[in-house]
Structure 1
Amino acid sequence: MSAEELAAAIAARCESRVNSLTREIVAEHEAVLPGFAELHGGMLEVETASTTRHGVRLFLRVAQGRGSSDQDMRLFRERAAQRMSDGVRLTTLLSGYAVGYRAIWRMLCEEAGPGEEAGLHRLGELMVTALERTMTAVCEAYLLEAELARRGEAMRAVARLLLQSPPTREDPTPDPGVPGVPGVQALAAQHGITLEPSYRVLAFTLRHPGAPPAVSRRRHAVQGALDRLAAQPVLTLFDQHAGHALLPARLAVPTAKLGRRLVEAAGPLHAGLASADSLTDIPATSRQAARIAQVAAACDRPPGVYELGDVLVEFHLSTPGPAAQALSSRLALLEPSLVATLEAFFAADFDRRATAAALTVHPNTVDNRLARVAEALQADPRTAGGILLVGAALAVRRLEGFHFRQTV
């Protein structure tokens, strides 16, 4: 048999060990690579295992003469970019691949029998070639992502300055940390970033943001979704729980489509959208958009993007003041079962039978409770005036328990 045939025979005998070897390699990663065990569990158990399994199978396939293509490197490139975003050092990443290839070599040596030395020699040559090709793909993808990250830092710096309040005529004293529009324009020009004359400001909050690696991924997913919708890099600024994005006003992306894409990319989130006619309007507009997002979340609206008109009443009622306190105090007069009945009555669009079904009571019980509410509040929730008053009071009650975060 030729060296190639012997190599193929040894590789074929290793096929049944792919899954067990994958588990060994992942375990060795955790044992010998600094910080690996602290990485997000989903990444450790799913992504690392799938990448390792792909690499082992790819090498065995090549060793059996079935060849490979540049497409086979795609997963390695994607994982390298993700690891860079996760903050994994390139040296740690490359060490992980070295761990994997050493494990493959040990397996090949264990499977090789007497008289198959030439095949093992050929496998060694193939392994050096595979290692070189894989390392090249990983390094290129990692460094490209690092360059994109540096570009992203410049864009975030510009976004941060645009979102901060500039000096006004009433308060002309400039804040050293807020250079105003000319300073932002100069910084943007320095980094080759073209500013639009007007923007639609998007502010969003993430439900259950999770551990730092998971947060980083969701940010990356949101950024990617926005960039694809705009067909250009979008100015964004994120923190642990929320973020802002500046969408060029000339891009007419429907709100519903924007909401679908964001939820598909990053999971459940609430976003507010408002228009800034000029760069100086962006800070105030961003606060309005953030308030819209928080009101939508507080009112338990479905995940998506909301504009002011979608939450107009709730937005108005979310501002603390004597009127809101007076509305809230009205419901405090009612026992819990009556408040629950009102919530169900409004949710059922004032249908007493649907309300009764939701509460698992008789429709007459609903009527009795609504009558008691009317007597206690001096406002009948079955009349136009009562609907306005009680609806506003219920909205204030929902908003009271929500913590409205300070935004940029």
Structure 2
Amino acid sequence: MDDDPALSAARIAARCEPQVNRLTRQIVAEQASAIPGLAVLPARLRDVEMAASVRHGFRLFLRFAQGGDAADRDLRVFRERAAQRMTDGVPLATLLSAYLLAYRSMWRALCAAALPGEEYGLRLLGELMFQTLEWVTGAVSEAYLGQAALAGRGEALRAVAGALLTGQAADDVAARHGVSLEPGYRVLHLAISPDGASPVEVRRRLRTVQAALDRRAGEPVMTRFGPEGGHALLPLRLPSPDDRLPRRLAEAEVRVHIGLSVAERRADVPAAAGQATRIAEVARAAGRPEGLYELGDVLLDYHLSAPGASGARLAGLLDVLDSSLLETLDAYFAADFDRRATARALNVHPNTVDNRLARVSALIGADLRASRGILLVGAALTARRLGG
């Protein structure tokens, strides 16, 4: 029997080191099958982030078991992941079960690696596992509950934002939640491009948007979001956002059209929110790139997208045209009325473009060689693109 349990424990741990990656994959698969709720998480979260946590924990323990130091900084990964799992909607009990299962699998691996005569070393490893499990679960629980407290504050801000956006008396709601109201706000509508993301990925996107807004403002921003975006209220005392906001979101793989309007008074917030929503929707429908838009940036499109009989009739002006004529018109306007550039875009002869444009003029009764005809057809194209 080994006379030095610490030396024996270190030898057992060293034998397990080459198996860390294989055991990590095995543990993650076992977690997904044994713990309700983990199997439905996105594969990237489960197979990358959770696997990274297991791998880090395994290597940290093996280093500790071989006489290495364990510092508070080693727990940073567990704290960060715990906060993320809270915002991903993973219950704390589920998260702790995953850690306990991982440690149980680690213990089996240590037992399998132990040789006859190393019983005291294995017993020492068991004691070390309980010690590290206490550190890890303590750090995880603290970070998770801390993030939950922040989320509670976020719920309070969302409640006040909801009251302002719907025109309710917000003073009582704000007082109840300890939120200070501003005289006026810049109202943003963020229209996030839909792409069939999972609920967890949607929550992460919205968390990214919220974090970007908070950093831009230097303080928590009142928001009310759904799966495809929503509204944010920025106090007028803060600088107006610019194109850096959508650029930073794009870098985080969040594609967004942002409409911006101003409510000089709190009572104006619902109207400003409606205008900001329409600005963002018009910018996206008109094919504008992701970015931040104010009314002046989309004024013509905004006007032509107004509901009513005239808008529908204007859009319907082009219903008599077949697909080749509509394609030619789109290319002609995109080329800024350059017939040769239009021909190159369509891969046809310039004379074909002339013939098609003449056919358009005859069918709709508008001369495309005159300014009035150009204005009418351009407006009709825009109204049609925006859905009339």
Aligning the two structures, in what range does the TM-score lie when normalised by the shorter sequence? Answer: over 0.9
Comparing 67-76 and 312-321, the one that deviates more: 67-76
Give the partner amino acid of 1:192. G
Comparing 148-157 and 257-266, the one that deviates more: 257-266
Cα deviation for residue 239 of structure 1 reads 1.6
Q: Deviations over 1:338-361 (max 9, x none)?
A: 101111122222222322222121
Specify the alignment match of 2:109 in structure 1: 107
Cα distance in 1, alignment partners of residues 136 and 219 from structure 2: 30
Question: Is the Cα–Cα contact under 8 Å of residues 186 and 240 in structure 2 kept in the other structure?
Answer: no
Q: Deviations over 1:38-74 (max 9, x none)?
A: 2223322222222212221222222223334333222
Comparing 354-363 and 24-33, the one that deviates more: 354-363
Give 2:122's match in structure 1, choosing from 120, 123, 128: 120
Question: Is the Cα–Cα contact under 8 Å of residues 201 and 285 in structure 1 kept in the other structure?
Answer: yes
Matches within 5 A, 1:2-401: 2-165=4-167, 178=168, 180=169, 184-207=170-193, 208=195, 210-265=197-252, 267-400=254-387
Cα distance in 2, alignment partners of residues 124 and 293 from structure 1: 59
SS of equivalent residue, structure 2 residue 257: strand
Cα deviation for residue 382 of structure 1 reads 4.5
Q: Deviations over 1:128-159 (max 9, x none)?
A: 12111111111011001111111111111100
Give aligned-pair identity as a percent: 56
Matched positions, count: 385
SS of equivalent residue, structure 1 residue 300: coil
Cα distance in 2, alignment partners of residues 348 and 54 from structure 1: 56
Cα distance in 1, alignment partners of residues 313 and 296 from structure 2: 25
Cα deviation for residue 226 of structure 1 reads 0.6
Give the partner amino acid of 2:304. L
Cα distance in 2, alignment partners of residues 347 and 370 from structure 1: 14
Cα distance in 2, alignment partners of residues 387 and 161 from structure 1: 46
Cα deviation for residue 209 of structure 1 reads 5.3
Cα deviation for residue 249 of structure 1 reads 1.4
Specify the alignment match of 1:173 in structure 2: none
Give the partner amino acid of 1:204. L
Cα distance in 1, alignment partners of residues 18 and 97 from structure 2: 26
Cα distance in 1, alignment partners of residues 73 and 344 from structure 2: 57
SS of equivalent residue, structure 1 residue 270: strand
Cα deviation for residue 192 of structure 1 reads 2.1
Cα deviation for residue 376 of structure 1 reads 2.1
Cα distance in 1, alignment partners of residues 22 and 363 from structure 2: 70
Length-normalised TM-score, structure 1: 0.90
Cα deviation for residue 163 of structure 1 reads 0.1
Question: Is the Cα–Cα contact under 8 Å of residues 263 and 304 in structure 1 kept in the other structure?
Answer: no
Cα deviation for residue 94 of structure 1 reads 0.4
Cα distance in 1, alignment partners of residues 204 and 52 from structure 2: 18
Q: Deviations over 1:366-393 (max 9, x none)?
A: 2222222222223233443222211111
SS of equivalent residue, structure 2 residue 39: helix
Cα deviation for residue 396 of structure 1 reads 0.9
Question: Is the Cα–Cα contact under 8 Å of residues 276 and 285 in structure 1 kept in the other structure?
Answer: yes
Q: 1:369 to 1:16 in 2, by over 3 A?
A: same
Question: Is the Cα–Cα contact under 8 Å of residues 219 and 266 in structure 1 kept in the other structure?
Answer: no
Give the partner amino acid of 1:14. C
Question: Is the Cα–Cα contact under 8 Å of residues 246 and 255 in structure 2 kept in the other structure?
Answer: no
Question: Is the Cα–Cα contact under 8 Å of residues 229 and 253 in structure 1 kept in the other structure?
Answer: no
SS of equivalent residue, structure 1 residue 203: strand
Give the partner amino acid of 2:260. L
Cα distance in 2, alignment partners of residues 40 and 158 from structure 1: 32
Unaligned runs of 5+ in 2: none
